[in-house]
Structure 1
Amino acid sequence: MIEEKLSNVTAARQFGEVVFPGLRTVGSVRTGNTEDPAHVVINGENFHALEMLGYTHSESVDLIYIDPPYNTGNKTWQYNDHYVGEQDSFRHSKWLSFMERRLTLAKKLLKPTGVIIVAIGDEEHHRLRILMDEIFGDQNFLANLVWDGGTKSYASYVSSGQDYMLVYSKNSAALTEQGVQWRETKPDLAVVLDTAARLFKSSGEDAELAGEQFRDWLKKSDLSPGIKRFNQIEATTGRVFNADRDLGAPEKRPNRSFTPLLHPVTGLECPVPSNGWRLSETELLARLSAGRIAFGATESKIPREKSYLDEASMQIPGAVFQRDRSAASIYLNQILGDKRFPFPKDHNVLMRWIRLAAPKDAVILDFFGGSGTTAEAVIRLNAEDQGTRQCILVTNNELSAKDDAALRKAGHGPGSEEYEAKGVFHHVTKPRVETVVTGVRQDGSTYSDGLPANVEFLELAYLEESRVHAALEYDSLAPLFWLKSGAVGTVVQRTDDSAYEWNEESSLAVLFDAGKAAELAEVLATKQNRVKHVFIITDSPEQGDLAGESFGDEITVEPIYGSYLDAFQINRSDS
């Protein structure tokens, strides 16, 4: 149920204190196309990370999925560095305050067509619904999804294994304007079509015999009623269809056609619906010519229109779905080689809803990243359909209460190598994503053939304003600029006292000497590279504007550090 334990503070900075965030690389894996955006996994406090993403991804995220603490009263989340227990009379208000601050920041990151999905349990479901109505607007509520994960044998009253996912859009009107509709392939569609094709072939293309065998197979199957309706096989093509679509008009009108159709075997006229045909005579004859009209055994029955299964392959997703939750724990243990994390989310469930709710080139954010399920789901989806989705996942490096106590007792406190190695980022999230991508576990054993993806592992850093002013923190800011420019290729590093830097793989360049703007522009034009974003290191707005004139309209130019310092005075007491 819970993807991550969260602390509301970090030892590095307190809330209300002015901080300037940066990012430091702590590893990467690269097996994917260099032109695709890299996935980003960030170790850091998620409130500060959301503030940071406000600079890099304002109104740029297509989908947010989060699985926050469920506030069950167990030792599963903290508020002001203390576990919130069941007996705490303020635990619900503390949880709401905790969530409100993060959801308010998250909303600013969504595109107008963006969607947020929040997993939650019974304990806070009703409160979360009211909170999200307040933040996102009740007019933007899309769905209350119910995940039936299996019954509980230890319940005192009712055996309930349901969790929920509340779904909101940032602006439902924008979704409507874009014509967005969520559709998914009917389950077992391929099995049904393959079975019909096999029976048609084995019967010597005898549609009547194949149809009887096909209907017998359908009766014995546990397929949905909707797909079982398609129970006939077409004689000329072997296609699966049903003939239950009425051709009669709903009401009489003077312009309705009443021309009878002739039975293809007897040649006699078939009955006409009492209100006439719902199609014009031209349309009706066109469908007859195309073989899309089904007749009875004799001319006594009114003809009906055929619906083909391969043309009705999509369906609207239902609000209730079933999947045993225990499968996700077993699956994660197989990836890591041992048990390290309780109650991970199911990547198959996330893949389904990401596929429905976001385009194939979407930016997807999870700021309660936990074991890294969302990152794996996005990586697997891209491998499945050649998408270029990018996942930005934020988690912290907290330890379980048990590991925390054991390590402290052994003399290893926060900050020590032994202690940090057991945190969720280093012990679960990072090794999971690395194993999924490379196919090799931490211990060197083989898990799989791996998947094509580029992933950058980063750590949230807190910078001093004076060091930023003195241009001493470029290494910690470079990943931030890379992330803002699309995270394509690798982070642009500075060598010695170079006037500018760029590389063949990245979509950005960094100009350290504003006086060399024309030279850099010429280099970029000559190389015909894919640089779309130039950062100019200067504290002078005038100097930055002048340097920016050297670059064409196709390149976004941003002078820094001035803009950085203005944008990143996060956590201000007056905000």
Structure 2
Amino acid sequence: MADLVVVREFGERIYPGLQSVERIPNGPEDAPWHVVINGENYHALQALRSTHRGKVDLIYIDPPYNTGNGGWIYNDRYVDQADRAKSSKWLSFLERRLVVARDLLKPTGVVIVSIGDDEHHRLRMLMDQVFGSNNFIMNAVWQGGGSALARHHAGGVDYMLIYGYDAEKVGRFMDPKPFVPEMLRLVADALADGKSPEEAQERLREFIKANQRLMPEGVTRFNNVDTNGTIYETSDLTNRLPRPNLRYVVTDPETGAQYTPPSNGWTVKREVMDEWVAAGLIAFGKRPRKKKSLEDYARNMPVPTFTHSRNTSNAHLQEILGDKRFPFPKDHEVLMRWFRMAAPRDAVILDFFAGSGTTAEAAMRLNAEDGGTRQSILVTNNEVGASEAKKMRAAGLHLGDPAWEERGVFEYVCRPRISTVVKGKRPDGSDYFDGLSANVEMFDLTYLDPSAVRRGQEFTSVAPLFWLEGGARGERIEAVPDEGWAVTDTYGVLFDIDALTGFATAVADAAIAGRAPAVLFIITDSPAEYQQAAERLPVGIDAVQMYEDYLSNYTINTIGGAR
């Protein structure tokens, strides 16, 4: 026992920090950064409760389904089918996290939780308890089909329980049908009055613009009118997965213009494409896109059930990483479907069971599709699967060994997946595709000594939390400047109360220029000095006293254990 060192007493409070492990600036300077945190998700949620209380538009999680296959850990042990308390443990495990997560939602926020048959009924009761049964919105059913796993339990059905922080304030799941007749009538009347399809289209777009805040986002995309008077939207025919057999030339029958296939091929066989072209379902432009009519949309959306093969997500992740590393990842197209419906284009989206990182890819691809500025915040860990852990223990490896850690889900799957999607290159240097325009930073969750925090010796680990609270945009204040203060476009820090005049002037100038920081941090242990500083700052900007507020607001209470 000579090597045993007591670091913390049981139940003693600990304090979180973030240490950057990879920073990928591949998007616009003013775009929000997508953030990935590797660490215990209960602790990460407690830290986010200080930086993002009431700021999250959508929480999407796919927690362990508790099927008894050794897929999740409770009190440092994998839970198996033989454990008679496995449901009780699972509910306790989830409840602690959901209670904290609820504090992060905006009043208009939505939470979506995926679940299977085994615990669906228990999760519904837990969600009723945490969010209120009156805030239940929908129980969506996803039929996956295909694989043996997909056929297990009710023919491969998964559920998505959807709740609002306040369901009465959630308008994004409204039925689109009330708007459809008016849009159809508007175009029909315009054409009957002798207007051209182009003029009818302009009237339609004016109507959408005037009612955009009231309409579901899906309806607003139907802003085109063809020569037959049909209202339609277009969807990209680009194939996300390589299909060499789908590389063929498409010809516009009206103009004779020919369109070469994208690098991965089209989405359908030539025979199907020919049928679409003949039926007038293809909108030719720089690259052909398939039309979807407003009438079809109104008949089919929104619906509480949908079918989408799970096989595509396995193939997609394998194509990104170059080999098969993670079983049954979430499907980015399914997530994009829900993100479109459940969150605005500038949403903050949180996933604290992030696994392979699908949520980040879905948010990035959706931004690329519609020009949105969604920001994803992911929390995952570096746990190794039960079977893999058993093999490595047999080989004499243990938790903490480099060979063990490099096979964890963060290091082996999530981090390389997101890096590949943004950079366009796999970890082995091979090309994947052009990469997505996005800024991403990945962090390890660390634990800090409060006395060192008070002395300012842990600022580099606290600095990312300041940046997160400011919106995770633009530059980050990484060190104490000679001036004793620093101000960015999103937040500011006063390190030295004697530099208050310069700090207050800089903040006031930024506010006058329309660039007022979202939050200001005043580093002082004196309430009188903090009050003095707050009185000199423009009204309407949040001010936070550091480090005493940090040591109270960012505290992680470990009593009872993390799990």
TM-score range, shorter chain: 0.7 to 0.9
Instruction: Please name the residue that 2:501 is paired with.
Output: 518
SS at match of 2:392: helix
Structure 1 segment 210-289 matched on structure 2, within 5 A: none
**Per-residue displacement from partner, 1:344-396 (whole Å, max 9, x unpaired)?**
01000000100100001111000000000000000111111111111000000
Instruction: Please name the residue that 1:269 is paired with.
Output: none
Question: Given the superposition, is the C-alpha separation of residues 108 and 517 from structure 1 closer, same or farther in structure 2, using an over 3 Å criterion?
Answer: same
- Displacement of 1:174: 2.0
Structure 1 segment 324-343 matched on structure 2, within 5 A: 324-343=309-328
Instruction: Please name the residue that 1:545 is paired with.
Output: 531
Q: Contact between 2:523 and 2:547, CA under 8 Å: does it hold in 1?
A: yes
Paired letter, 2:503: L
Paired letter, 1:57: H
Partner residue of 2:424 out of 421, 436, 439: 439
**Per-residue displacement from partner, 1:309-340 (whole Å, max 9, x unpaired)?**
55886563111100110110110010011111
Instruction: Please name the residue that 2:544 is paired with.
Output: 558
Structure 1 segment 33-112 matched on structure 2, within 5 A: 33-112=28-107
Partner residue of 1:184 out of 204, 214, 218: 218
- Displacement of 1:544: 1.2
TM-score, normalised to structure 2, is: 0.75
**Per-residue displacement from partner, 1:246-288 (whole Å, max 9, x unpaired)?**
xxxxxxxxxxxxxxxxxxxxxxxxxxxxxxxxxxxxxxxxxxx
Q: Contact between 1:395 and 1:425, CA under 8 Å: does it hold in 2?
A: yes
Q: Does 1:359 align with 2:344?
A: yes
Question: Given the superposition, is the C-alpha separation of residues 87 and 187 from structure 1 closer, same or farther in structure 2, using an over 3 Å criterion?
Answer: farther
- Displacement of 1:406: 3.5
Instruction: Please name the residue that 1:475 is paired with.
Output: 460
Q: Contact between 1:36 and 1:388, CA under 8 Å: does it hold in 2?
A: yes
Cα distance in 2 for residues equivalent to 1:323 and 1:99 = 27
Structure 1 segment 198-209 matched on structure 2, within 5 A: none
SS at match of 1:47: helix
Question: Given the superposition, is the C-alpha separation of residues 60 and 41 from structure 1 closer, same or farther in structure 2, using an over 3 Å criterion?
Answer: same
SS at match of 1:36: coil
Paired letter, 1:467: A
Question: Given the superposition, is the C-alpha separation of residues 221 and 21 from structure 1 closer, same or farther in structure 2, using an over 3 Å criterion?
Answer: same
- Displacement of 1:468: 1.5
Paired letter, 1:184: G
Question: Given the superposition, is the C-alpha separation of residues 13 and 61 from structure 1 closer, same or farther in structure 2, using an over 3 Å criterion?
Answer: farther
Q: Contact between 1:364 and 1:391, CA under 8 Å: does it hold in 2?
A: yes
Paired letter, 2:343: A
Q: Contact between 1:116 and 1:169, CA under 8 Å: does it hold in 2?
A: yes
Q: Contact between 2:150 and 2:156, CA under 8 Å: does it hold in 1?
A: no
Paired letter, 1:141: F
Cα distance in 1 for residues equivalent to 2:498 and 2:393 = 54
**Per-residue displacement from partner, 1:493-520 (whole Å, max 9, x unpaired)?**
11566512345xx522211101201112
- Tell me whether 474-483 or 527-536 shows the greater mean CA deviation: 527-536
- Displacement of 1:75: 1.1
Q: Contact between 2:146 and 2:311, CA under 8 Å: does it hold in 1?
A: no
**Per-residue displacement from partner, 1:542-575 (whole Å, max 9, x unpaired)?**
1112122332225332221111111123226499
**Per-residue displacement from partner, 1:166-213 (whole Å, max 9, x unpaired)?**
00111112225998665635999999989989999969xxxxxxxxxx
- Report the RMSD for the aligned CA atoms in angstroms: 3.8
Cα distance in 1 for residues equivalent to 2:152 and 2:543 = 62
Question: Given the superposition, is the C-alpha separation of residues 156 and 482 from structure 1 closer, same or farther in structure 2, using an over 3 Å criterion?
Answer: closer
Q: Does 1:380 align with 2:361?
A: no
Structure 1 segment 136-155 matched on structure 2, within 5 A: 136-150=131-145
Paired letter, 1:318: V
SS at match of 1:77: strand
Instruction: Please name the residue that 2:155 is paired with.
Output: 160
Structure 1 segment 374-453 matched on structure 2, within 5 A: 374-453=359-438
- Displacement of 1:154: 8.4
Larger radius of gyration: 1
Cα distance in 2 for residues equivalent to 1:192 and 1:338 = 44
Q: Contact between 1:38 and 1:487, CA under 8 Å: does it hold in 2?
A: yes
SS at match of 2:117: coil
Cα distance in 2 for residues equivalent to 1:23 and 1:49 = 10
Partner residue of 2:167 out of 158, 164, 172: 172
Cα distance in 1 for residues equivalent to 2:330 and 2:301 = 23
Instruction: Please name the residue that 1:485 is paired with.
Output: 470
TM-score, normalised to structure 1, is: 0.74
Q: Contact between 1:509 and 1:531, CA under 8 Å: does it hold in 2?
A: yes
Structure 1 segment 109-120 matched on structure 2, within 5 A: 109-120=104-115
Q: Does 1:568 align with 2:563?
A: no
Partner residue of 1:121 out of 116, 119, 122: 116
- Displacement of 1:151: 5.1
Instruction: Please name the residue that 2:190 is paired with.
Output: none
| Identity, % of aligned positions | 47
Paired letter, 1:534: L
Question: Given the superposition, is the C-alpha separation of residues 515 and 91 from structure 1 closer, same or farther in structure 2, using an over 3 Å criterion?
Answer: same
Paired letter, 1:28: R
Question: Given the superposition, is the C-alpha separation of residues 404 and 309 from structure 1 closer, same or farther in structure 2, using an over 3 Å criterion?
Answer: closer
- Displacement of 1:451: 0.8
SS at match of 1:76: strand
Cα distance in 2 for residues equivalent to 1:361 and 1:188 = 20
SS at match of 2:477: coil
Q: Give unmatched runs, 5+ long, in structure 1.
A: 1-10, 204-216, 223-227, 232-307
Cα distance in 2 for residues equivalent to 1:538 and 1:136 = 37
- Displacement of 1:525: 5.0
Q: Give unmatched runs, 5+ long, in structure 2.
A: 1-5, 175-212, 233-249, 256-270, 282-291
Paired letter, 1:449: D
Cα distance in 2 for residues equivalent to 1:447 and 1:13 = 45
Q: Contact between 1:41 and 1:457, CA under 8 Å: does it hold in 2?
A: yes
Cα distance in 2 for residues equivalent to 1:362 and 1:382 = 10
Question: Given the superposition, is the C-alpha separation of residues 202 and 516 from structure 1 closer, same or farther in structure 2, using an over 3 Å criterion?
Answer: closer
- Displacement of 1:81: 1.0
SS at match of 1:128: helix
- Tell me whether 81-90 or 13-22 shows the greater mean CA deviation: 13-22
Paired letter, 2:549: S
Instruction: Please name the residue that 2:244 is paired with.
Output: none
SS at match of 2:43: helix
Q: Contact between 2:78 and 2:386, CA under 8 Å: does it hold in 1?
A: no
Question: Given the superposition, is the C-alpha separation of residues 135 and 570 from structure 1 closer, same or farther in structure 2, using an over 3 Å criterion?
Answer: same
Q: Does 1:509 align with 2:509?
A: no
Q: Contact between 1:540 and 1:562, CA under 8 Å: does it hold in 2?
A: no
Question: Given the superposition, is the C-alpha separation of residues 329 and 17 from structure 1 closer, same or farther in structure 2, using an over 3 Å criterion?
Answer: farther
Paired letter, 2:137: L
Cα distance in 2 for residues equivalent to 1:15 and 1:167 = 37
Question: Given the superposition, is the C-alpha separation of residues 573 and 155 from structure 1 closer, same or farther in structure 2, using an over 3 Å criterion?
Answer: closer
Count of residues in correspondence between the two structures: 470
